[in-house]
Amino acid sequence: MSELAWTCGQLVVGGFDGTALPEGVARELRAGRRAGVIVFKRNLEYQGGQLVLEQVSGLNQSIIAATANLEDPPFISVDQEGGKVARLLAPVLELPPMRRLAELADLELTQRVGEELGRQLAALGFNLDFAPVMDVDSNPANPIIGDRAFGREPRVVMRHGVAFIRGLQSVGVLGCAKHYPGHGDTSVDSHLDLPVVDADAARLAELELPPFRAASGAGVATMMTAHVVYRGLDPSVPATFSHRICTEMLRGNIGFEGVLFSDDLEMGAIAKHGAIDDAAIRAVAAGCDVLLVCSDVEAQARVYEALVREAEGSPAFALRCKEAAARSVRVRNLAPPRIEGDRARLRAIIGSLPARELARRVLAEVE
């Protein structure tokens, strides 16, 4: 494999079907053509309504084994926010929507929740949680954010989001501030089509951006883009494709040094408006470091091949890919996945008395 081909592989993270790692995905991981995987509920086994912990840790162990010949660890990621966005159910820590947690107005509790969730995720082999949502829920008609956000005021989102990030990352699980530069004022679900926010730059700077500035200042390891057009910032393209938003603002103005993920390129906001091959190139050129392709394994291959072709034909794009790959590798090495291999100890971590008491306290107080 050429250096450029390896470089482009560090820019792709994908999902798959089934509760075991498909051989085709394992092959791509072994070859360095993927930076890691994202796990969904479809990849998990439940018995009697309870998550089978050994299946989850076994799946993640197979991902680690597939990359054992490589110098760098993989991203093993999951969307575990709390509330309605929780891929891992009981006995993993059950959490209310983040809005309910923030309404308790206890920053120490929010940090403890992040820490306990991170401890459990790490024991199962995850090293990246695509959480927390740092959007400000400013539009009551928003069909996708709502109580996933910590609140309707930037200060509330900033303080509780940073506390959650600090808790998560204190135990070796990378956090992700999403959806940059803010998905809270949309009235269209970007899973279905492309939302547009009409607010001017001053309003966005006052309302949408402060939580992401705070997350960056707190050292959040990753952020995720929003597939949203912000007319006050860049009226021509969604943020995922905007050099101004992803590079000039995020790197130059906010000073973020971590990995910028694209949201899933298979979502309607992107897929309805062009080929995924083109979307991948545009996202990386804009400043995204790692691309999510959450379902279609063949689409992941097309994305990878498109990046390689473009990098081979464009020295400027090749340089951008090398910059992105360096970030991807650096951040993954900050938190290599480390599974608790002993079954009894794993169950003790997931079902510990402090964890159960924390869950009871949080759930009781928000009711």
Catalytic positions, written as ranges: 191, 263
How many other C-beta atoms can be found within 10 angstroms of the C-beta atom of residue 50? Answer: 12
Separation between Cα atoms, residue 71 and residue 280, nearest integer Å = 25
Are the C-beta atoms of residues 35 and 72 closer than 8 Å to each other? Answer: no
Instruction: Please choose, from the candidates 296, 363, 284, the residue with its C-alpha nearest in 3D space to the C-alpha of residue 328.
Output: 284
Separation between Cα atoms, residue 221 and residue 257, nearest integer Å = 8
Q: What angle do CA 129, 127, 65 make, to 5 degrees?
A: 135
Separation between Cα atoms, residue 21 and residue 16, nearest integer Å = 8
Separation between Cα atoms, residue 249 and residue 290, nearest integer Å = 18
By DSSP bridging, strand 222-225 and strand 128-129 are: unpaired
Q: 240 is written with which tokens?
A: 């995922």
Separation between Cα atoms, residue 53 and residue 130, nearest integer Å = 20
Separation between Cα atoms, residue 240 and residue 224, nearest integer Å = 9
Q: 284 is written with which tokens?
A: 């990386």
Residues facing 196 on adjacent strands: 229
By DSSP bridging, strand 80-82 and strand 85-86 are: antiparallel
By DSSP bridging, strand 36-39 and strand 12-14 are: parallel
Helix ranges, the chain (H): 3-9, 23-30, 53-66, 98-102, 107-124, 154-170, 201-207, 210-217, 243, 268-271, 276-286, 297-313, 315-334, 343-350, 353-366
